[in-house]
Amino acid sequence: MEFDVFLEKFAMCFDEKPAGTLTYNTDYHDLDGWSSMTELDLIYMLDSDYGITVKVDDIRDSKSIGTLFEIIKKRVGV
């Protein structure tokens, strides 16, 4: 499971691409455009593209895109 691919899919969950460069350490909760709708799009993306039902708390408690990526990577098992 590649971080770059995950990052691209993650960015597409936003209605408008967030300003600046998204990285492994970006705290997505602080990004302009992060909203309850983005959360839903992220849940759907993880379900449809990675086949997992994410725990909503994992999205809310993760401090960065990288932290969430590691959780998802572990769940996917590759």
Partner 1 sequence: MKNAFVTAVEYYLPPSVYSNDDIARDFPEWPADKIFGKVGIRERHIAGNDECASDLAVQAAEILFRKHPEIDRNSIDFLIFCSQSPDYFLPSSSCLIQDRLGLPVSCGAVDINLGCSGYVYALSLAASLVKSSVARNVLLLTGETYSKFLSSSDKSNRSLFGDAGSATLVSPEGKYRIGAFAFGTDGSKARSLIVQSGGSRHKEPYGDSAKDFLFMDGAEIFSFTLDRIPQLVQETLSRNDMQKKDIDLFVFHQANTYILECLRKKIGIEKEKFYVCLEQTGNTVSNSIPIALAEAFSSGLMTGNVLLAGFGVGLSWAGTVLS
Question: Which residues contact partner 1 by CB under 8 A?
Answer: 36-37, 39-40, 43-44, 47-48, 53-56, 59
Closest by CA to 23, choosing from 33, 13, 31, 14, is 31
- Closest approach, Cβ 37 to partner 1, in A, equals 7
- Pick 58 or 70: Cβ nearer partner 1: 58
- Pick 37 or 76: Cβ nearer partner 1: 37
- Pick 8 or 47: Cβ nearer partner 1: 47
